[in-house]
Structure 1
Amino acid sequence: MTSLVLTVIGPDKPGLVERLSHTIAQHEGNWLESGLSRLGGKFAGILVIQVPDEQVTALHKALQDLQNSGLKIIAESADDQERATDLRPFTLELVGHDKPGIVREISQALAQRHINVETLKTELVSGSMSAELLFKAEAHLLAPADFDMDELQGAIEGIASDLMVDITLND
């Protein structure tokens, strides 16, 4: 079996997931993991599938044929390396008034500490007491086992104060 990572983007319309899943199934593929969303009026996603080795070439051609429906699809071989077991998982939650630079500041602090972003979900929502837009983020992170959570907490609190957002770290 070959594992593939597919990235997909196209105009949002009913039936796109069905066409994609049908094409994968026609080539004896198995849909393993995915994250699919409507973003900016587009359908966008990333998924991991497995397909028998002898079906890979035919599947690539069938995925190219789906581009006639407006989907742009990139298929890459998955890197099946196992994740290191000595990493420490934790989450970061953020909420505050929207302004440019929030993701840049937080991601820079994480990268400086060799913390990997496993998943990041962000959204703009209307504030409950006002019509002002609030930026919300939730990140699932992996840090080296020996990293100092207190030091990170201090650094994050400084960033939160500068950006006027609330940030919570959870083990």
Structure 2
Amino acid sequence: MATVVLTLLGTDRAGLVSAVSQLITERGGSWERSQMAHLAGTFAGIVEIDVPSAQVDALVSGVEALGSQGLRVSVERSGEAPPASTEGHRMSLHLVGADRPGIVAEVSALLARHGVNLEELSTQVVEAPMAGGTLFEADAVAVVPDSADTTALRSALEALANELMVDLDLHEGS
């Protein structure tokens, strides 16, 4: 089996996910993981697929043909699925606070300085209940290298949270 990652972007419409999943099934593939959203009137999605190696070209051709229906598709052929990384441990992070520009940039830069890889990141801006204004929320799963000083990382994240005036919850594991 080969692993293929599809990135999909275009005008949202009913049946879009069905069309992609049908192509995957017709080629003997398996839909493994995905993240999809409706963002600013646009459908955006990323899908990891396992498919028989002999069917990769046919799958790619079928998915690219969806471009005629207003869907931009990017295909990354990953070959064999890599083994899960064992060099590090997972940490989950939940952040919430008043929305302002730069939160993701500052948090991700701090993580990068500590050699931490963001494996998953989900963000949203929501109306603040009773207070007015908007809140920024982020949930992430990060892989912290075994060589990292987790005490220093936690301290740096907590200091940044105070500076940004956001609440931050950190938990080992995902």
Q: TM-score band (shorter)?
A: over 0.9
Aligned residues: 171
2:59 maps to a residue whose letter is L
Corresponding residue for 1:45?
45
Equivalence map 1:89-108=2 (5 Å): 89-108=90-109
Once residues 59 and 170 of structure 1 are traced to their aligned partners in structure 2, the CA distance between those partners, rounded to angstroms, is 39
One-letter amino acid of the counterpart of residue 69, structure 1? Q
| Gaps in structure 2 of 5+ consecutive residues | none
* Matching of residue 61 in structure 1 with residue 55 in structure 2: no
Question: The residue matched to 2:100 in structure 1 has which SS?
Answer: coil
The range that moved more, 36-45 or 119-128, is 36-45
Superposition RMSD on alpha carbons, in Å? 1.3
Q: Any unmatched runs of 5+ in structure 1?
A: none
> 1:110 corresponds to which letter in structure 2?
L
Whole-Å separation in 1 of the counterparts to 2:90 and 2:17: 31
Amino acid paired to 1:53: S
- SS where residue 18 of structure 1 aligns? helix
Residue in structure 2 matched with residue 109 of structure 1 by the alignment: 110
Match of residue 26 from structure 2: 26
TM-score under structure 1 length normalisation: 0.94
- Point out the more displaced range, 43-52 or 141-150: 141-150
Deviations 1:42-71 (CA, angstroms, capped at 9, x unpaired): 111111112222222222211121111111
Other structure's SS at 2:158 match: helix
Q: Distance in 2 between matches of 1:50 and 1:152?
A: 36
